[in-house]
Amino acid sequence: MTSEIAPPPRLLMGPGPITCDPRVLRAMGTQLVGQYDPFMTATMNETMALYRGVFATANEQTFVVDGTARAGIEAALVSLLEPGDRVLVPVFGRFGHLLTEIASRCGAEVHTVEVPWGQAVPPEMVEEAIVRVRPKLVACVQGDTSTTICQPLDDIGRICREQGVLLYVDCTASLGGNPFETDAWGVSVVTAGLQKCLGGPSGAAPISVSDEAAALIRSRKRVEAGIRDARDDDEDDVRTGSVIASNYFDLAMVMDYWGPRRLNHHTEATSMLYAARECARLLLEEGVENVVARHRLHGDAMAAGLAATGLALFGDQTHKMTNVVAVEIPERLGAAGGDAVRTRLLEDYGIEIGTSFGPLHGRVWRVGTMGYNARKDAVLVTLAALEQALRTAGVPVPSGEGTAAALAVYARAAA
């Protein structure tokens, strides 16, 4: 028989998931209540209110999708997009490709604008494509961890509003570490996950839906057999959109579950709800701006330390996410040697860093400083260990320059 779960201690300094905040772990260890217990519905309402703060929005429809961040993306796209709808996706990394993939499975006609991995998409490129394609929706990632680029969204939001186009944003990797303004930027639907700057585990996807997008989604509502009543038959008579292709991701029904009607849909994943709630509490207690500033500080320290260790930073640094940095794997190591260094870091030092996907697989390491691990000690320990691991692998590295550069960043910030 297998034994009680007993993971080795790890410091997770990759692109996420990262080490879970102990407060979130404790929240998940809390006992359940029933699905319609007054405490449960109050907790759901509280969580909605907390995420309005996290997303900087007044959207009534702000809740949690039960699944990983990817589930949130699919719920948004399948509920917004009808077969044949045109969607425009600015692609600047792996997760832009994911949006095209999910949108195409929704039966949408997918158009893209693409830039090389490591750059952000110029807003005028998006505007030109909107005018040309006339999409219903622009679907965009904010922070694409595959390249560490953070796409500016204020101009794209303005352009979408001017052009009468809906805007969906996946901010899973960036939320909390980089400013995000749902209402100020005019974002129609935004989804996220817990496992990056929010300091939680994967498995719940916070979402916020504007009134306009909610109305569009409701126009596609069909309540399932087995729990329908006369109201639902009436609504069927006035449905104007096609029925949403997924039941689980049918946000019209999910909104009825989180809303005053409390119409039974899935059974809420209570432990993950507790986790999502605690992640939001942590963020709002510290203050959204303070959390972003903390990510910027420790991200800057890590980047400075890696550069001083002799590693070339990858990508357009003016558009880098605060919470993850990519560095080129020293040429003399090659892809296999790069993986060997990561293995030594993990097995000897208990520290995880990542590689990347597609064209960057084996070419860069990605080092995160996010959520619970956006901390000085985590940054310094990682730099100290990486210096030793590089040296062991035969890469000439300056002694102590990495940690000294990081400490200098901290000293300047404290001055």
Q: Of 26-34, 175-183, 213-221, 300-308, which part binds a copy of itself (CB under 8 A)?
A: 26-34
* 243 touching a copy of itself, by CB under 8 A: yes
- Kindly write out the interface string for residues 49-78 of this chain, putting x where it contacts a copy of itself by CB under 8 A and - elsewhere: -x---------------xxxxxx--x---x
* 242 touching a copy of itself, by CB under 8 A: no
Q: Of 24-32, 121-129, 155-163, 181-189, which part binds a copy of itself (CB under 8 A)?
A: 24-32
Q: Tell me the C-alpha to C-alpha distance, in Å, between residue 383 and each of 68, 283, 314, 323, 407.
A: 30, 26, 17, 15, 11
Helical H runs in 34-180? 38-55, 69-80, 94-105, 123-133, 154-163
Instruction: Describe the chain by its helix, strand, coil percentages, rounded to 5.
Output: 45, 15, 40
Q: Of 8-16, 56-64, 294-302, 303-311, which part binds a copy of itself (CB under 8 A)?
A: 8-16
Question: Is the link from the previous residue into 90 a cis peptide, with omega within 30 of 0?
Answer: no
Residue placing its CB nearer to a copy of itself in the complex, 233 or 285: 285
Residue placing its CB nearer to a copy of itself in the complex, 357 or 410: 357
* 340 touching a copy of itself, by CB under 8 A: no
Residue of 79, 195, 309, 382 interacting with a copy of itself (CB under 8 A): 195
* 406 touching a copy of itself, by CB under 8 A: no
**Interaction residues for a copy of itself, span 351-370 (CB under 8 A):** 352, 354, 357-358
**Interaction residues for a copy of itself, span 94-123 (CB under 8 A):** 94-98, 100-102, 105-106
CA distance 8 to 353: 16
Chain position carrying tokens 């569009």: 216
* 274 touching a copy of itself, by CB under 8 A: yes
Is-contact 277 46, C-beta < 8 A? yes
* 218 touching a copy of itself, by CB under 8 A: no
At 229, is the secondary structure helix, strand, or coil? Answer: coil
* 385 touching a copy of itself, by CB under 8 A: no
Tell me how far, at minimum, the Cβ of 171 lies from a copy of itself, in Å: 15
**Residues in binding contact with a copy of itself, number by CB under 8 A:** 89
Task: Tell me the sheet residues that pair with 269.
Answer: none
Q: Of 91-99, 118-126, 158-166, 374-382, which part binds a copy of itself (CB under 8 A)?
A: 91-99
Q: How many beta carbons lie within 10 A of that of residue 223, not counting itself?
A: 20
* 189 touching a copy of itself, by CB under 8 A: no
Question: Is the link from the previous residue into 17 a cis peptide, with omega within 30 of 0?
Answer: yes
Q: At what angle do helices 154-163 and 123-133 cross, to 10 degrees?
A: 20
Nearest 5 degrees, angle CA 46-CA 50-CA 54?
Answer: 165
Q: Of 151-159, 174-182, 212-220, 272-280, which part binds a copy of itself (CB under 8 A)?
A: 272-280
Is-contact 158 324, C-beta < 8 A? no
Is-contact 363 356, C-beta < 8 A? yes
- Kindly write out the interface string for residues 124-163 of this chain, putting x where it contacts a copy of itself by CB under 8 A and - elsewhere: ----------------------x-----------------
Is-contact 46 184, C-beta < 8 A? no
Q: Of 1-9, 180-188, 316-324, 397-405, which part binds a copy of itself (CB under 8 A)?
A: 1-9
* 265 touching a copy of itself, by CB under 8 A: yes
CA distance 174 to 145: 8
* Closest to 80 in 3D by CA, of 252, 313, 198: 252
Residue of 31, 240, 318, 399 interacting with a copy of itself (CB under 8 A): 31
* 305 touching a copy of itself, by CB under 8 A: no
